[in-house]
Amino acid sequence: MTTFPLKTLYNWYRELVANPKYRWWIVGGTLLYLINPLDVLPDVLPIVGQIDDAVLITLVATEISSAIKDRNAMLKQQRNESKTVTPTVKIKDVETDMASGDVVEVTAVEVV
């Protein structure tokens, strides 16, 4: 007897929700499935009928919150990368050599 590949179906659903191209189509289809009275376990059955709906609600909420969290992390990383650090530069133009009395011109850059 073969078993239903539930893990394969779950992974397929997660991949589709994670893909920005199909995400909102999958969410919309899931919401239509939830309001449709004809589904895998009919809602007229007292507790059993709500099991598939509860699983789908949990799955879609988890995947959407994960996608939002990943997007926020990506935006934060992009903001951090876009901030440019401008170093403080001090330039010394002329220094005098006290022992010989000669003028030595020096261009020095100090980065702090």
Q: For residues 106 and 97, which has the higher predicted lDDT (pLDDT)? A: 106
Domain that holds residue 75: 6-82
Inside any domain, residue 74: yes
Angstrom CA distances, 33 to 28, 57, 104, stand at 9, 11, 83
Q: Give 86's pLDDT tier (boundaries 50, 70, 90).
A: low
Task: Tally the domains of the chain.
Answer: 1
For 18-52, the pLDDT digits (tens) are 888 888 898 889 888 888 877 777 777 778 878 88
Inside any domain, residue 105: no
Inside any domain, residue 21: yes
**Average predicted confidence (pLDDT) for the chain:** 76
Inform me whether the pLDDT recorded for 68 exceeds 80.
yes
Inside any domain, residue 103: no
C-beta atoms surrounding 56 within 10 Å? 17
Inside any domain, residue 99: no
pLDDT, mean of residues 87-105: 54
Inside any domain, residue 11: yes
Provide the H-helix boundaries in the chain. Answer: 6-18, 23-35, 48-82
Inside any domain, residue 98: no
Inform me whether the pLDDT recorded for 94 exceeds 60.
no
Q: What is the CA radius of gyration of the chain?
A: 32
| pTM reported for the whole predicted model | 0.57
C-beta atoms surrounding 60 within 10 Å? 19
Q: What is the pLDDT of residue 89?
A: 53
Listed in sequence order, the residues at least 6 apart from 90 whose beta carbon sits closer than 8 Å to its beta carbon are: 109, 110, 112
Inside any domain, residue 88: no
103 forms bridges with which residues in the sheet? 96
